[in-house]
A and B are shown apart, each in its own frame.
Chain A
Amino acid sequence: MGDFSDMSPRASSALQPAATPPGAIRNFCIIAHIDHGKSTLADRMLQMTGVVSDRDMRAQYLDRMDIERERGITIKSQAVRMPWQVGGDTFALNMIDTPGHVDFSYEVSRSLAACEGAILLVDAAQGIEAQTLANLYLALENDLEIIPVLNKIDLPAADPDKYARELAQLIGGDPDDVLRVSGKTGMGVEDLLDRVVERIPAPVGDPDAAARAMIFDSVYDAYRGVVTYVRMIDGKLNPRERIQMMSSRATHEILEIGVSSPEPTPSKGLGIGEVGYLITGVKDVRQSKVGDTVTTASKPATEALSGYTDPLPMVFSGVYPIDASDYPDLREALDKLKLSDAALQYEPETSVALGFGFRCGFLGLLHLEIVTERLSREFDLDLITTAPSVPYDVTTEDRKTVTVTNPSEYPTGRIEKVVEPIVNASILAPKDYVGAIMELCQSRRGTMQSMEYLGEDRVELKYTLPLGEIVFDFFDQLKSNTKGYASLDYEPAGQGEADLVKVDILLQGETVDAFSAIVHRDKAYAYGTLMAERLRKLIPRQQFEVPIQAAIGARIIARETIRAMRKDVLAKCYGGDITRKRKLLEKQKEGKKRMKMVGRVEVPQEAFIAALSGDVETKKDK
């Protein structure tokens, strides 16, 4: 990594928080797709503005969690204040890092609402992706000034002319206005910082009004409790002041107020347009919710800032410890995760197949993946998750409607109607894959809304799709049908009625709850046969014949049979075999302890896990 200090017009002295005129403030974020180089660019800015010394520079400084760094994605946003000088005037630039994934679109929208402008960062070798388009759309909705930038222009595969035309076509303007930078080498980054000052409007607010600050992020820190990131709109917040959360009316005392640069630096307060953090000693992010308005307890504002909603889980899954004795640890781990993840919901659940666990609600599939990965990594838990489900509104014959997030709660008896969540999906891919994508979407009950060429060879397809179809391996299928080129974004688009049924899987007549699924009637047979066949391959033969059935209510739609085991004996057991034989027995006994009983049928936990993960079709039928 080079030394950038020579090329950096760093500000000779930084402006002090609480004493910075709004005209000298620029609040912006970076909109980019995973791995288009946002974090590298942010690092370079930190280094060029001098807030991180070259010596302390550590790759991707802003992404702190291990998972984030490994996956190259940003889950939690933060804000950094950087000084920058243009033509003798010093400015304070607040860079607000936004989560990059659709699961966190609410958090994205709040981060955007804290800014006046956005850098639209696109890989000069790949072009814009669906999630970036979605976030760009949100940014335009928030009236942000957009600065289009192509990154990674140092790459041999970069085609900046082509993608500059694509960007100009999308947002209007001249392809020559698209900046070209390399976060890696630092090329063009100074110009970009200058452009931020030049183009992004300064914040406006009423310094004399009651204080109002919008929470755009809330992070749990093991040592300090909840750190709340805010953007001041009106008035001022001061150290030791009592504040009030406008959604709950709860009041707290500010123990510390300051800005990140990028380490937390206490200040004498925060004035209008400024971005910083508050620490009040609360221990749970639910007491400091993203989107909420902070005001002072002594002179509370009368009207909260608009845009606050509670995060609503859209994907549900059972989470179970593989070793039943880990259940208390799982509970403790979830309790801890909850402190830093306001969107995570869970309640205890019991399953015949999987034992004790929790039914968890997530914002989306990535959120589910992140939570389960954190549980296994940070808390060292081995877990199994059931197939993701979405909330269905089921109306029974007696006109009662229940929301079903778990197939096992599906009402019995006659069903009047079932309503499922629908999403608008946008898929971007090279034009060669249009056929494959249309086929996939059609098989998932999608309806095409539009198809548009972006630039020369890329197409954006818009579909409405049932969310339930998307959560079930849609993304994997999309990726494999398009050699990994397609990108997907979706947003809720209300509900739709559909002919859905619950399919149960029965082992020797007993329902195995973890395998029940709510599926479209046309697919019930396929699901039933698939699961019955998987289980037949996975469950070891017992001393008796075991029927595996798939059923809708009382109607059997598929059947497989595990034939009775007739032979289980080692043919030879002489002097040299005895020790080995005994060790084998000990191992088998150990394995037997971990068997789950479904009626009289002994099922290894691994069989359930493999059947749920779908890791069966590739295995040979022994």
Chain B
Amino acid sequence: MPSALPLADPAPLDGALPPSVVPGSDERALGVYLHVPFCRVRCGYCDFNTYTADELRGAKRSDFAGQAADEVAQAARVLADAGLPRREAATVFFGGGTPTLLPADDLVHMLEAVRRRIGIQSGAEITTEANPDSVDLAYLQRLAEAGFTRVSFGMQSAVPSVLATLDRTHDPARVPLVVAWAREAGLNVSLDLIYGTPGETLDDWRRSVEHAIAQEPDHVSAYALIVEDGTKMARQIRSGALPMPDDDLQADMYELVDDLLSEAGYAWYEVSNWARADASGEPDPAHRSRHNLSYWTGADWWGVGPGSHSHVGGVRWWNARHPAAYAERIARGESPAVGRETLDDETRRIERILLEIRIRDGLSTSTLTSEGRTAVAGLLADGLVEPAKALRGTLVLTRRGRLLADDVVRRIT
């Protein structure tokens, strides 16, 4: 389980938002996330809210696009009723699960619902996650025609034994193919990688990173494998069938991927994310994931679909996790939310710190208490933040600092 759900307040059946969400909203972008909770098989390491055909308890994949479209309509109504100004979506992101397990027309149907009910800015970033073995050229072209701008492929590794440990079923040879098709369709391309898989060596990892770079993606995400409680992999590690990933090796791997990507012309803009750099060596804003940045900069986003989290002006809520439970609520015309929390000023400040410290744009020291500002001296002494930027009032993590970001947060909060 990723989360025993946090203690929270009940969510109103109509999803209504309090007036407190309005102040400052004209300065906050709005993003829409759509969670497609389906996978063909469940990977051993994965604890996401996703379901194979056997686990759907009567919910149907074919009904999903319609239900999501209904929630989008609800969203538009709730946002308007709260007195918020009309804001078109700056970003739309389809995640999962495996969104591309649905027919392209279903994704387009959902996107059209967003366009019709909420509106989409011109030049908006519209992304879908995809499995290398679940798309072809026609599929990608259909998405591009409908307005999608970006696709993020779950490549994870180029090494067959590592993919096997992860239960990933795609053929690594397919990655160059799907990347070429995405390019042909006119989409920006991001590749997702995982490092620190049990049994993976530093050389295995180097091969995967080099293989990813050879595809010349616009963007790379590299995540240290987290062994989540309740997953098959956690059981395999407990029983001794797999070794526990080693923190030091993961640190070496992080340093390696950062080195290789930097040499290849990419720059980090968040702890686990790199974008193609511009001439000055800075990550090109056009290639960063604007949608994901909205999570780290306190923007508003509406999460559609089972288990999705939303955040609007300091109110956060989350939907029923199971597709069947979600479908029932949508069918009754109710909000699918099952819990919410209203963040007070101090909590919002703490969240700002723990999110903004992760990004290259950094965290303003004005966010800190005087105690926190004093602790910055220690961060400098330990080489965790960029000195020149810290002296100008912005905390930007060094590479060592990025690896110890959680410790940095504990020290300044």
A residues whose Cβ falls under 8 Å from a Cβ of B: 543, 563, 565-576, 578-583, 585, 588-589, 592, 622
Instruction: Please judge, given known A-B contacts A569-B405, A573-B296, A575-B295, whether A582 and B309 are in contact too, CB under 8 Å.
Output: no
Q: A576 CA to B3 CA in the complex, in Å?
A: 10
Q: A585 CA to B406 CA in the complex, in Å?
A: 8
* Least Cβ–Cβ distance between A562 and chain B, in angstroms: 13
Is B404 located at the chain interface by the 8 A CB criterion?
yes
Contact indicator A622/B6 (Cβ below 8 Å): no
Q: Of A566, A570, A582, A589, which contacts B410 at CB under 8 A?
A: A589
Contact indicator A567/B303 (Cβ below 8 Å): no
Q: A579 CA to B405 CA in the complex, in Å?
A: 17
Contact indicator B410/A588 (Cβ below 8 Å): yes
Q: Of A563, A582, A588, which contacts B351 at CB under 8 A?
A: A582
Contact indicator B410/A569 (Cβ below 8 Å): no
* Least Cβ–Cβ distance between B104 and chain A, in angstroms: 24
Q: Find chain B residues with CB under 8 A from A578 CB.
A: 295, 309, 311, 316, 351, 355
Of A573, A579, A581, A582, most buried by chain B (CB within 10 Å of CB) is A579
Contact indicator A567/B403 (Cβ below 8 Å): yes
Is B350 located at the chain interface by the 8 A CB criterion?
yes
* Least Cβ–Cβ distance between B294 and chain A, in angstroms: 9
Contact indicator B6/A580 (Cβ below 8 Å): yes
* Least Cβ–Cβ distance between A587 and chain B, in angstroms: 11
Q: Of A566, A575, A583, which contacts B251 at CB under 8 A?
A: A566
Contact indicator A583/B403 (Cβ below 8 Å): no
Contact indicator A571/B223 (Cβ below 8 Å): yes
Is B288 located at the chain interface by the 8 A CB criterion?
no
Q: Of B224, B248, B301, B404, which contacts A575 at CB under 8 A?
A: B301
Is B130 located at the chain interface by the 8 A CB criterion?
no
Q: A565 CA to B224 CA in the complex, in Å?
A: 16
Can you name the residue of chain A whose Cβ is closest to the Cβ of B402? A569
Q: A578 CA to B307 CA in the complex, in Å?
A: 14
Q: A588 CA to B407 CA in the complex, in Å?
A: 10
0 or 1 for each of B377-413: is its CB under 8 Å from A? (1 = yes): 0000010000000000000000000111111011001
Interface residues of B in 312-332 (CB under 8 A from A): 316, 318
Can you name the residue of chain B whose Cβ is closest to the Cβ of A582? B351
Contact indicator A566/B248 (Cβ below 8 Å): yes
8 A–B contacts from the bound complex (CB under 8 Å): A566-B403, A567-B247, A568-B407, A571-B225, A572-B223, A573-B355, A578-B309, A578-B311
Beyond A575-B310, A585-B406, 14 extra complex contacts between A and B, CB < 8 Å: A568-B404, A571-B271, A573-B271, A573-B354, A573-B358, A576-B307, A576-B318, A578-B355, A579-B316, A579-B318, A580-B3, A582-B351, A583-B6, A622-B244
Q: Find chain B residues with CB under 8 A from A569 CB.
A: 224, 271, 402-406
Q: A576 CA to B33 CA in the complex, in Å?
A: 11
* Least Cβ–Cβ distance between B160 and chain A, in angstroms: 23
Can you name the residue of chain B whose Cβ is closest to the Cβ of A591? B410
The 3 closest A-B pairs by CB, nearest first: A566-B251, A569-B405, A571-B224
Contact indicator B248/A581 (Cβ below 8 Å): no
**Count of A-B contacts with CB under 8 A?**
98
Is B292 located at the chain interface by the 8 A CB criterion?
yes
Q: Find chain B residues with CB under 8 A from A570 CB.
A: 226, 405-406
* Least Cβ–Cβ distance between B340 and chain A, in angstroms: 10
Q: A571 CA to B341 CA in the complex, in Å?
A: 24
Q: A430 CA to B301 CA in the complex, in Å?
A: 75
Q: A572 CA to B46 CA in the complex, in Å?
A: 13
Is B128 located at the chain interface by the 8 A CB criterion?
no
Is B347 located at the chain interface by the 8 A CB criterion?
yes
Instruction: Please judge, given known A-B contacts A566-B403, A568-B403, A592-B410, whether A574 and B316 are in contact too, CB under 8 Å.
Output: no
Is B85 located at the chain interface by the 8 A CB criterion?
no
Is B50 located at the chain interface by the 8 A CB criterion?
no
Q: Find chain B residues with CB under 8 A from A576 CB.
A: 2, 303, 307-309, 318
Instruction: Please judge, given known A-B contacts A567-B403, A569-B403, whether A585 and B303 are in contact too, CB under 8 Å.
Output: no
Q: A533 CA to B394 CA in the complex, in Å?
A: 42
Of A566, A576, A580, most buried by chain B (CB within 10 Å of CB) is A576
* Least Cβ–Cβ distance between A117 and chain B, in angstroms: 62
Contact indicator B354/A582 (Cβ below 8 Å): yes
Q: A523 CA to B159 CA in the complex, in Å?
A: 51
Is B297 located at the chain interface by the 8 A CB criterion?
no
Instruction: Please judge, given known A-B contacts A565-B404, A569-B405, A575-B311, whether A543 and B382 are in contact too, CB under 8 Å.
Output: yes
Is B188 located at the chain interface by the 8 A CB criterion?
no
Q: Find chain B residues with CB under 8 A from A581 CB.
A: 354
Q: A569 CA to B301 CA in the complex, in Å?
A: 24
Q: A578 CA to B409 CA in the complex, in Å?
A: 14
Q: Find chain A residues with CB under 8 A from B407 CB.
A: 543, 565, 568
Q: Of A565, A567, A571, which contacts B272 at CB under 8 A?
A: A571
* Least Cβ–Cβ distance between B272 and chain A, in angstroms: 5
Is B74 located at the chain interface by the 8 A CB criterion?
no
Contact indicator B226/A572 (Cβ below 8 Å): yes
Q: A282 CA to B244 CA in the complex, in Å?
A: 64
* Least Cβ–Cβ distance between A178 and chain B, in angstroms: 57
Contact indicator B272/A572 (Cβ below 8 Å): yes
Q: Find chain B residues with CB under 8 A from A585 CB.
A: 350, 354, 406, 409-410, 413
Q: A567 CA to B225 CA in the complex, in Å?
A: 13
Is B254 located at the chain interface by the 8 A CB criterion?
yes
Q: A580 CA to B7 CA in the complex, in Å?
A: 10
Q: Find chain B residues with CB under 8 A from A571 CB.
A: 223-226, 271-272
* Least Cβ–Cβ distance between B318 and chain A, in angstroms: 7
Q: A543 CA to B404 CA in the complex, in Å?
A: 9
Can you name the residue of chain B whose Cβ is closest to the Cβ of A579? B6
* Least Cβ–Cβ distance between A599 and chain B, in angstroms: 15
* Least Cβ–Cβ distance between A461 and chain B, in angstroms: 42
* Least Cβ–Cβ distance between A620 and chain B, in angstroms: 10
Can you name the residue of chain B whose Cβ is closest to the Cβ of A542? B407
Q: Of A568, A580, A588, A589, which contacts B2 at CB under 8 A?
A: A580
Instruction: Please judge, given known A-B contacts A576-B318, A579-B316, A585-B409, whether A567 and B224 are in contact too, CB under 8 Å.
Output: yes
Q: A587 CA to B180 CA in the complex, in Å?
A: 46
Is B250 located at the chain interface by the 8 A CB criterion?
yes
Can you name the residue of chain B whose Cβ is closest to the Cβ of A588? B410
Contact indicator A568/B405 (Cβ below 8 Å): yes
* Least Cβ–Cβ distance between A289 and chain B, in angstroms: 54
Q: A585 CA to B316 CA in the complex, in Å?
A: 18
Q: Of A565, A575, A579, A582, which contacts B247 at CB under 8 A?
A: A565
Q: Find chain A residues with CB under 8 A from B33 CB.
A: 575
Q: Find chain B residues with CB under 8 A from A565 CB.
A: 247, 404, 407
Instruction: Please judge, given known A-B contacts A573-B295, A582-B350, whether A567 and B250 are in contact too, CB under 8 Å.
Output: yes
